[in-house]
């Protein structure tokens, strides 16, 4: 099932993506599916008539995983970590599909990182690897936007990874998916710049959930970004950047100058 969050210029609502008479639609549901389950209201709207929003607003945190693909670690001159490399992005960095990525004035090297994102479905702590699937609500697509120059010079990654607009997610959450070998691609304009597979992850999703939950309580709606394949590079104002994860969909955002 694909769950979207959308607006028709009124309060955001949730819905299930489907098809009616060959037209893509979103079937509205009564509340937030993380808390209220999925109960259809009966209203169906054409996908063309709604604006999709970030499919989840993390209430507490977005957790990033660094250097989780060996070829990506190598391209930036880094070793593969012996344990998952964890950082945080605040929920204020989250934007949705189609939202602009504003190019801040404090960086000269804004880069894309296409990633599979995991949405947590229930409060949990100390989750064993074998139980990780039980705490997953679903999966979406993310662009772990990074100011690469500041990542090198700031010491902490907070500004380089956590600034406003640095966490586009969407277009929706896919709740039923085998994520062991999914293609992850990123395009800038019509150039394919990343083309990897989730089977190249060093630490797999169940291991990441076990590791992160060993020191931090996970809440419903928390998001884990699982790392990016090789091929990271710059985005510039005017660029349209799309990240596609096989079986989920495509997240597209345009980079816009603040000026
Ligand atoms: Mg990343």
Task: Give pLDDT tens digits for 205-227.
Answer: 999 999 999 999 999 999 999 99
Same domain as 27, residue 70: no
CA 161 to ligand 1 centroid distance, Å: 9
Beta strands 249-257 and 101-103: pairing type?
Answer: parallel
- 113: CA distance to ligand 1 center in Å? 5
Is 28 in the same domain as 96? no
- Domain presence at residue 127: yes
Q: Is 147 domain-assigned?
A: yes
Neighbours of ion ligand 1 (CB under 5 A): 113, 144, 228
Asked whether residue 131 is assigned to any structural domain, the reply reads yes
Give 1 Cα–ligand 1 centroid separation in angstroms. 26
Per-residue pLDDT reduced to its tens digit, 54-76: 999 998 999 999 999 999 989 99
Residues 43 and 74 reside in one and the same domain: no
Helix (H, G, I), strand (E, B) or coil at 26: strand
Give pLDDT, residue 10. Answer: 86
Shared domain for 33 and 79, answered yes or no, is no
* Structural domain contains residue 57: no
Element (H, E) at 28: strand 23-29
d(CA 216, ligand 1 centre) in Å: 19
Which segments within 47-177 are labelled E, that is strand? 51-53, 62-66, 85-89, 94-95, 101-103, 110-112, 114-120, 136-143, 146-147, 167-174
Please check whether residues 33 and 88 belong to one and the same domain.
Answer: no
191 part of a folded domain? yes
Same-domain pairing of 37 and 69: no
Number of domains comprising the chain: 2
| Residue 202 domain-assigned (yes or no) | yes
Reading across the β-sheet that carries 233-234, which strands appear in turn? 146-147, 110-112, 233-234
> What's the CA-to-centroid distance between 55 and ligand 1, angstroms?
19
- Say how many Å lie between the CA of residue 228 and the centre of ligand 1: 5
- Distance of CA 127 from the midpoint of ligand 1 (Å): 23
Domain co-membership, 116 together with 85: yes
Please tell me whether residues 127 and 248 are part of one structural domain: yes
Using the mean position of ligand 1's atoms as its centre, give its distance from the Cα of residue 23 in Å.
35
Q: Work out the average pLDDT over 199-209.
A: 98
Residue 64 Cα to ligand 1 middle (Å): 6
Cβ neighbours around 68 below 10 Å, total: 26
Compute, in angstroms, the gap from residue 87 CA to the centroid of ligand 1: 9
The domain in which residue 242 lies consists of: 62-257
Which pair of tokens denotes residue 100? 């602009």
CATH of the domain at 42: 2.30.30
Q: Same domain, yes or no, for 126 and 102?
A: yes
Compute the distance from residue 68 Cα to the ligand 1 centre, in Å: 8
Q: Read off the pLDDT band of 259 (50, 70, 90).
A: low
Q: What is the mean pLDDT of residues 26-51?
A: 95
16 CA → ligand 1 middle, Å: 28
Question: Residue 109 and residue 39: Cα distance in Å, rounded?
Answer: 45
Could you tell me if residue 152 is inside a domain? Answer: yes
The answer to whether 58 and 222 are in contact (CB under 8 A) is yes
Tally of CA atoms within 13 A in the half-sphere of 143 that contains its CB:
40
Distance of alpha carbon 251 from alpha carbon 238, whole angstroms: 16
**pTM (2 decimals)?**
0.97
Instruction: For residue 192, give every residue at least 6 positions away whose Cβ sits within 8 Å of its Cβ, in sequence order, or none.
Output: 185, 186
Confidence at 192, pLDDT banded by 50, 70, 90: very high
Give me ligand 1 centre to Cα 25, in Å: 32
Q: Residue 56: inside a domain, yes or no?
A: no
What value does the mean pLDDT take over residues 33-49? Answer: 94
- Pick left, alpha or beta for residue 214 (phi over 0 → left; psi -120 to 50 → alpha; otherwise beta): alpha
Answer yes or no: do 133 and 40 share one domain: no
Q: What is the pLDDT of residues 85-144, one digit of tens each?
A: 999 999 999 999 999 999 999 999 999 999 999 999 999 999 999 999 999 999 999 999
């Amino acid at each position: 099932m694909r769950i979207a969050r959308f607006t028709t210029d009124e309060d955001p609502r949730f819905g299930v993506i489907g098809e009616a008479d060959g037209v893509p639609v979103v079937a509205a549901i009564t509340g937030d599916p993380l808390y209220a389950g999925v109960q259809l209201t009966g209203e169906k709207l054409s996908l063309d008539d709604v604006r999709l929003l970030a499919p989840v607003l993390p209430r507490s945190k977005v957790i990033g995983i660094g250097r989780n693909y060996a070829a990506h670690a190598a391209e930036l001159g880094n070793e593969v970590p012996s344990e998952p490399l964890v950082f945080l992005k605040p929920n204020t960095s989250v934007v949705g599909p189609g939202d602009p990525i504003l190019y801040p004035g404090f960086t000269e090297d804004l880069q894309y990182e296409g990633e599979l994102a995991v949405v947590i479905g229930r409060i949990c702590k100390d989750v064993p690897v074998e139980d990780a699937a039980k705490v997953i609500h679903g999966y979406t697509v993310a662009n772990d936007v990074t100011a690469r120059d500041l990542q090198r010079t700031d010491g902490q990654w907070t500004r380089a990874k956590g600034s406003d607009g640095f966490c586009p997610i969407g277009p929706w959450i896919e709740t039923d998916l085998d994520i062991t070998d999914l293609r992850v691609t990123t395009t800038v304009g019509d150039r394919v710049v990343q083309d990897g597979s989730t089977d190249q992850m060093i630490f797999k999703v169940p291991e990441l959930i076990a590791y992160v939950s060993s020191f931090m309580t996970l809440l419903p709606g928390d998001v884990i970004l699982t790392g990016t394949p090789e091929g990271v590079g710059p985005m510039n104002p005017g660029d349209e950047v799309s990240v596609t994860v096989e079986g989920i969909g495509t997240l597209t955002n345009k980079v816009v100058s603040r000026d």
